[in-house]
Structure formats: C-alpha cells, structure tokens
A and B are shown apart, each in its own frame.
Chain A
Amino acid sequence: METREKKSKKEEIQTNITISGAEAVVKCLLAEGVDILYGYPGGAIMPVYDELYKYEDKLNHVLTRHEQGATHSAQGYARATGKVGVAMATSGPGATNLITGIADAQIDSTPMVCITGQVASHLLGSDAFQETDIVGISTPVTKWNYQITKASEIPEIFAKAFYIARSGRPGPVLIDITKDAQFEQFDFSYEKCTSVRSYKAVPELNIEAIKEAANLINEAKKPFIIWGQGIVLGEAEKEFESFIEKTGIPSASTLLGLSALPTKHPLHVGMVGMHGNYGPNKLTNECDLLIAIGMRFDDRVTGDLSRYAKQAKVIHFEIDPAEIDKNVKADVAVLGNAKETLKAIAPFVKENMHKDWLQKFRDYDAIEFDKVIKKDLYPTKEGLTMGEVIKEINNASEGKAIIVSDVGQHQMIACRYAEFSQTKSNITSGGLGTMGFALPAAIGAKMGAPDREVVAVIGDGGYQMTIQELGTILQTKAAVKIVVLNNEYLGMVRQWQQLFFDKRYASTEMTNPDFVAIAKGYHLKANRVTKREDLEKSIKEMIESEEAYFLEVCVEKEDNVFPMIATGSSVSEVRLS
C-alpha cells in the first residue's frame, strides 16, 4: 500500500509532452492507477481504442459482449476491490446501453467512471449519425458528468472525475468526449485532483454529536445496530467490529452491508428488510435505540415508515447529509466517514453487554429456524431447494468465496444463507434490482480479486438477460463459477402473483433452452444437477475447477422466500409463511 502510494505520487505531475486527446485519455487512466477497463468499440471512440492498442501491455481492455455488461463488470471490479471501475463505449447506442449500469452504480454508491465517444463538436445538435445527448440522458443517474470538446480539458476533467467518483459517498461519473477532441494535439500534463471547491466529499466531524450519540448508547437498555454498505465503502470494518464488541450491541446488516462483519460473529443477528431475518425485523420495533450506520433506510428495509421504530431514539451515522431525516428522523446525526466517526466515538462509549436483549434475537432465530430455515437447508421433500445449494457452496468454499448474486428469489436466498468470513464478499444489485447484473459483475470481481473464489448465483430469468457475457469469459478465461438456480419461472414475480394476485401467473413461466449446451457452446465446463445425491459432489467439482465452470441446478419450481414483509406492512408484521 505504502509503496504504491509513493509511486503514484511520482506519476502525479507528468512533464509536458505533445500528444493527441485520445492518448491523453489513456495516460490519464494510467495516472489514476487504472490497469483494467471494460468496454465496446465504435466509430466515435475509435481514436481512444487505437491508443489502447498501443498501450496494451499497460492497460488491459476487456471486450464485453454488450455495453451493459461493461458497466456491470466495472461495478463488480469496484465492489470487489474498492477501486474505481472503468467502462467505455461509443456514442449513441453504445452510450445508452451504459445507462442501466450507471443507474445501478448511482443507487448503490459504486465508484465508476464511464467514458463515451461523441460525434465531432461541429456536429453536436445536428442529429448526426449516432449522436445522442448522453450527458442529458445520464444527468439524473450520475454523481457528475461532463462533455469534453477540447483536448486541453482532458487531464483536468479526468482527474476531477476520478476524485468525485471515489471520494465521499462514491458514485458513477460519465465523461463524454467529442471525436475531434480525441484527435486534437495538445501539451499534456497531469495533476491529480484533491479537492473541488463546490464539493465537500466528507462532512466535518462534530465532536458534540459524537458525545451526544455516546450518551444515548451508554444509557440504552435495548440498543440495536443496523449497518449498511457504508462500512464497506468506508473500509471501516475493523472500527465497526471493535465498536460493537465494546458496546455489546446486537447488529444486523442491510442487503448491501453483508460481509462487512463475519456471518458467524456472535453479535451478528442477521439481515433486516423485506426478506431479512425474523428477529432483527421484529425487534426493530422493540429496541429503545436504533443506531443506523452507513445505511439509508431504503423502503425495502423499513416497510411502512409510519410504523417503523417509532418507540426508539435514532442515531444516524452517515456520510451523505442529504440522507439525514430523508426517510427516518434522526435524534442525533453523526456526519462523516464511518471509519472516522466510529474511531472518534470509541473512547466515549462504555463497555457493555446486553445478554438478555441479545437472547431475544436468538429466540426469534429459533422460531425462524423451525418455520423456515429447516425446510430451506435440510429439506425432506424431493425437489432441490435454493437454500441447500447455497449451503453446499458455503461448505465447498469454506465461506471464503465472493458471492455475486443476480435479482430474484435466488438473490434473497443467497444473501440469507451465504456465509461470509471476509469483507467485500457480497456483490449484488440492491437499490436498482437489476436482473442481468450478476454474470458480468462476477467477471469484474474475479479480475479485481483473482486470488479469490468468485461464485455467481443467478436465476434462469436474469441469466438470459446478459448470457452473452459467456463470450467474455471464453475470451478472457476469467475463472468464474456460475450457478444457475433454474426454477423455470421468474420466481420472485411468480411468488408475488401467488401471494397477492390469486396465482394468476401472467408471463412468469419460462420455457428455457438447454443451458448446459449453451455453456458448452462457449467451450466452458458445464454440468447439470437434478438430484440431491449429486449436489454436494457437483458443487465441490465446480469449486475445485481451476477454470470457469457452469452449473445448472434444477430446483423446486414453486418454492417461496420467507420471511417476508409485504409491501405496506410494518417490519413487525414480518411473516414466516
């Protein structure tokens, strides 16, 4: 870490050289420490691709099979490494294909820089071939965006883009570059950006708020922590763990916070939210102090807001001031990066234990085990469950894998049952719920963390939204393990149809292709499991494979995910069946 820091300092200020805008783009990426990017070429970005060809040994460009895949791969890379992911596309359709991934990164606070080519500046506004107003289109889903029309703007804008994408609450930034700016020659020099005067990345630490929060924590009889991705993004895992260990407070995760604390930690009481655990959902409405850390009270977490934690005082640790009081009113707001604020509060909180209170969570766990978990993990009926597949993945990977899940029932099951022993191990599309996310995101995650096992858990529906990325795996040999949990349904929607639309299964049944044959068509190792007795060894074989591996598991068609908080219900109305 130290040496890299020093090295990049040296690269910071490059001496003046005359180069093209396109070459400058590549030099900027290198100066920002980028060694991999994902993209797809086309007319308006060709000068940059020509430079990528020359810089092949320094900068690895991964050709995805669709621009959406490029953004999700960049996201997967960013989520697995904590670094900024980079995606690139041509103008027009290339650029618009990035939008889903950008919106996903925006709502899930993923640092990403997207670069798009644009028609030459004299053609702007003329409805030229493949001209689209990508800056206009991407404005509501980017943290910042900018159109470059002169080569001389490139260094400053790139430096600013990377700074904005990674600092504070991270997010996606888009840079659109006209083709003439890519060709234009200019004197290049690069200086990293360390501040933008109109932008405050991290709010100042307020020691009064810290003390006030500490007082509430010290006095609380039934305190409860809900942490979110802020712990992972702020790299505050250690500070968080010591904070909860000192205070003895039962702690639950949001969907995106998972893996920040090892699943087996004695104070880890599960996940909150629509398909979260019974105890933390129920007890949200029983605690006397709710401590939210790096989370934003999404409606999938809170259920009906008017009946959410009304009995409790609320402390909100948050980096983004706009999140304070947005959904849930905070009695004390502690603004700042979680790493800093948790470090600052540590000396003010008393050592404590909340044995009886913690036991309440465990009591609810026992009920949930009886009513839900037993059936999911140790089924007695014939059909395979999604839960037992996750259990076998846990066993075979010893809980060390990065689990990349798509969107649907399998996602909820994966996040409920996956065991995490290491941070940055849970990669899923939370806020946007983007089907098709997992396969390309897993590719990016594997490239970012090549030494780790990366398992993508995908539904038969979502898999077919970005299935073409098997081509990327074929070409790059990224050793991702792909598990498709095939229930021949758009299962999550079917579950809602069953529960809320009298089983009218409108357009949720899927006639699926031979997935194994398709994977084999891409020259991947592939296998299908239909029986319980084959499950364990098939998963083991998959995990042990040195190369990419596709495994289809045919699971029970009409299983449902529980617990569940129906839309409009309160967290305390979480149902077990």
Chain B
Amino acid sequence: MSTKNTYTVSIYTENNVGLLNRISAIFQRRHINIESINSSKSEIKNVSRITILVKIPEDQMKKIIGQIEKQVEVIKAFYHSDEETIYQESCLFKLSSDLLIENDEIQMIINQSKSRVININKDFFVLEKSGSKEELEELYNILDKHGIMQFVRSGRIAITKEAMKISTMLD
C-alpha cells in the first residue's frame, strides 16, 4: 500500500447539528482514526470550519475529500500536508501550587518552554502552552516527573499558506 502521510483536512460548512455526524461517519466507515478534530467559526460569516487531522495515504485522502464535499451542507473541503500549513495545538496543565514554592526548577521550565500561567490559587495553578504536538509532548514529559493533576490538549488548528478560494465561491 502507499505510504501514510499526515494531512490536515479543512472543511467549510453550513452550521448544522447533524453534519459532524455525517463527516465523522465517512472516516469511521473506512476504519480511519481521526487524530484530532476541531470545529469553530471561520473567516466567513455563518460558515463553520472543521479541522481534522488524519494519517492516511494520499490517494485515499483524495477519495475522502470527494465523499466529504458530496455532503449537501459542506461548502468546500481541502487537505494539506504539514509543509503547506502553519498549525498549532494548545494544551493545559493543572499542577500543584506547592511546586511553585518548593521547586525552583518549575519556574525555569515555565520560562524555557514559553508556556504561560493563566490561573493560580493556593491549591493549584494552570499552565497553558501552544505549539506543535512535539513541543507539547516534550513539556508533558518534563512536567510528568513533578506530577500532573490534569492534562488536556486541543485538536490541531491550521492556517494554509496558500489562499483558500472559498470566499469567492460563495458570492
């Protein structure tokens, strides 16, 4: 079989409750694991943008784009390789506040990793970090030694280097 690549799928859609179900079913039917999924508004008024990360061969990717675009409420779907996009994920760590007092190392980790304390109280503080999945993973591994109380990571969001010829399509 052809080699698998990581692709960011960007889907511009009408706002509809059932649509996410339709789209995820396209992947599920073909036993494709969705690495991450994110839904948000887009640059166009009343148009949503779904961002999905998958690892599949390109010929399969093309067919799936066809199946996605076939859905009535999908306006347009694109797929891009990592090189063609600027992308990020973001994550939150909940850590014990004791670490800030007792552990000098933590302050250094925060500074070096370019992460941000976004909440602090006497029991815990919350650290936010955005970046590539690898960067987030690296920080996770470092903090893991000190005890992570809670961790969550978002789906990938991505902007393409090339223009998406989507706004013009709607006029």
Contact = CB atoms under 8 A, between A and B. Distances in A.
Given A321-B66, A325-B63, A197 B75 contact: yes
Contacts of A321: 66, 69-70
A24 to B, nearest CB: 22
Interface in A319-372: 320-326
B16 to A, nearest CB: 8
B170 A197 contact: yes
Contacts of B14: 197-198
B67 A322 contact: yes
B61 to A, nearest CB: 12
Given A196-B72, A197-B75, A198-B72, A145 B66 contact: no
A145 B63 contact: no
B13 interface: yes
Contacts of B74: 198
- Closest 8 CB pairs between A and B? A322-B66, A198-B75, A144-B72, A199-B72, A322-B70, A140-B25, A198-B14, A198-B73
Nearest to A169: B70
Given A139-B25, A144-B72, 5 more contacts: A140-B29, A196-B72, A197-B75, A322-B69, A325-B63
A522 to B, nearest CB: 41
Nearest to B25: A140
Interface string A110-145: 000000000000000000000000011001100111
18 contacts: A139-B22, A139-B25, A140-B22, A143-B72, A144-B72, A144-B73, A146-B18, A197-B170, A198-B13, A198-B14, A199-B73, A320-B70, A321-B66, A321-B69, A322-B67, A323-B66, A325-B59, A326-B66
A326 B59 CA distance: 9
Nearest to B170: A197
Interface string A197-220: 111000000000000000000000
Interface in B35-65: 59, 62-63
From DSSP, what is the main secondary structure of chain B's interface residues? helix
A322 B63 contact: yes
A390 interface: no
Interface of B: 13-14, 18, 21-22, 25, 29, 59, 62-63, 66-67, 69-70, 72-75, 170
B107 to A, nearest CB: 48
B45 to A, nearest CB: 13
Contacts of A88: none
Contacts of B29: 140
A325 B74 CA distance: 21
A198 B170 CA distance: 8
A47 B5 CA distance: 54
Interface residues of A, number: 20
A146 B73 CA distance: 11
A175 interface: no
A164 interface: yes
Contacts of A325: 59, 62-63
B27 to A, nearest CB: 12
Contacts of A145: 18
B157 to A, nearest CB: 22
A139 B72 contact: no
B63 A326 contact: yes
Most buried by B among A143, A320, A322: A322
Contacts of B18: 135-136, 139, 145-146
A11 to B, nearest CB: 25
Nearest to A198: B75
Nearest to A146: B18
Contacts of A136: 18, 21
Contacts of B63: 322, 325-326
B165 to A, nearest CB: 14
Contacts of A143: 72
A136 B19 CA distance: 10
A330 to B, nearest CB: 13
A145 B63 CA distance: 23
B62 to A, nearest CB: 7
A196 to B, nearest CB: 6
